[in-house]
Each structure stands twice: as C-alpha cells, then as structure tokens.
Structure 1
Amino acid sequence: MKSSRRSFLITSVGVAATVALSRQAFADAPKVGESEPTAQALGYKADATKVDKAKFAKYAAGQDCSNCTFYQGKATDAYAACPMFPGKQVAGKGWCSAYNKKA
C-alpha cells in the first residue's frame, strides 16, 4: 500500500510541476503583432478603438477580446491565449473579425 501512495505522490508532483511550467511558458508566449498575416487577415488590433470601422462594419463599440468567447483568459487579464492565433497572446482590449460575444 505504501508504494501505491508513493507512486501517486510522485506522479502528482510531476503533473503539478508540468502544469506550472506550461503556464509559465505560456505567460512568456509572444504577443500577436498587428502586422502578422493572420492578424491582418482578421483585422486584429491590440486596441479595439483603432479598428477600421469602414473595413470591419461588424465592429461595435464595447467589443473587445476580453468579452469574446475565444478569449482564454479572465476578463481582467491584459493578455491571454486565443485559438485564432495559436501559441500567441492577444490583448484583452484588442479585437478581430472573429469576435463572438460571450454569453
């Protein structure tokens, strides 16, 4: 029975360390640049108030990444992951044409 507990504890510590390291690695993930091809295709702006409203008529004041269903952080996070830009972070105050309001 002791070896089962020991194995469980060792595995748990390993998993916890892996999760902590992956979170830290993502915290260091690069920010999406507005000049990147995907960002340009989606009309991404790090500051939603600077969206070209003539080109992106879908944009409405108050829409930003932090209240989009794709934003993978808390609404108060300055930057977080978004599946539209794998491996990178978007600005919470940003916007792109994939915007979809959270329910």
Structure 2
Amino acid sequence: MANTSRRSFLKKGMFGLAALPLGMGVLTTKAFAEGLPPLSEDAPNAKALNYVKVAADASSHPAFKADSYCDNCMFFQPDTNGCTLFQGFSVEPKGWCQSWFKRPG
C-alpha cells in the first residue's frame, strides 16, 4: 500500500513540476508588465532617440509627423505601455520619439 501512495505522490509531483513553468510564465509576465517604471526623458537612450512624453513638444523636430504618437507606433506594446526600443520601461501613449514608425493595419 505504501508503494502505491508513494507512486501517486510522485506522479502528482511530477505533473505539478511540469506545469509550474507554464503558470509562472503567465504570472510573471503579467506581474512585470503592470509594474514597468516610466521612461525618463533624461535617460541616455531616451535622449538619443529624442523621446518626449508629450508629442507636441517634438513638433519642431524634422522627423515629427502630425498624429505620430507612441500608441500608434509599431514598437509600442499596448498591454504594458512598453516599447521594444526602451526595454524594461513604459512610455507615454501620447509620447513620441524619432524612431516612430506607423503600426501596420
């Protein structure tokens, strides 16, 4: 009887261990996504790409186009307000940088 209960325990334990990375991946992604710190305009990579939190502040920049905002850029990640150019930080949806490229569709 002890062997069957040990066998059952091991099977359930192995299943739990196998499922753990899947659950942790979902939870971790959501937890990190909600807590991205905002990108500062003074950050070196933000300065390099002329990032501003308010797109109108960049209207004098030669690369600026009307209605070009972070939230309609191909690099913007709507679920986290993140940007693939500024990994680990959130950006303002109505912000702008010189790498803006219209999202397809």
Task: Identify the TM-score tier after normalising by the shorter chain.
Answer: 0.7 to 0.9
| SS state at 2:91 partner | strand
Deviation at 1:14, TM superposition (A): 4.3
Whole-angstrom CA distance in 2 between matches of 1:68 and 1:99: 6
Deviation at 1:49, TM superposition (A): 1.2
Whole-angstrom CA distance in 1 between matches of 2:59 and 2:94: 15
Q: RMSD of the alignment, in Å?
A: 2.2
1:61 aligns with 2:66: yes
Match of 2:27 in 1: 20
Q: Which moved more, 1:8-17 or 1:56-65?
A: 8-17
| SS state at 1:49 partner | helix
Task: Give the length in aligned residue pairs.
Answer: 95
CA deviations over 1:60-91 (Å, ceiling 9, x no partner)? 121001000000115xxxx6111211111111
Pick the structure with more helix per residue: 2
Q: Under a length normalisation based on structure 1, what TM-score does the superposition of the two structures give?
A: 0.76
Specify which of 25, 31, 39 is matched with residue 46 of structure 2. Answer: 39
Query: Unaligned stretches of 5+ in structure 2?
Result: 1-7
Identity %: 26
The aligned amino acid for 1:59 is F
Whole-angstrom CA distance in 2 between matches of 1:8 and 1:67: 42
Q: Under a length normalisation based on structure 2, what TM-score does the superposition of the two structures give?
A: 0.75
Of structures 1 and 2, the larger Rg is shown by 2
Whole-angstrom CA distance in 2 between matches of 1:18 and 1:64: 30
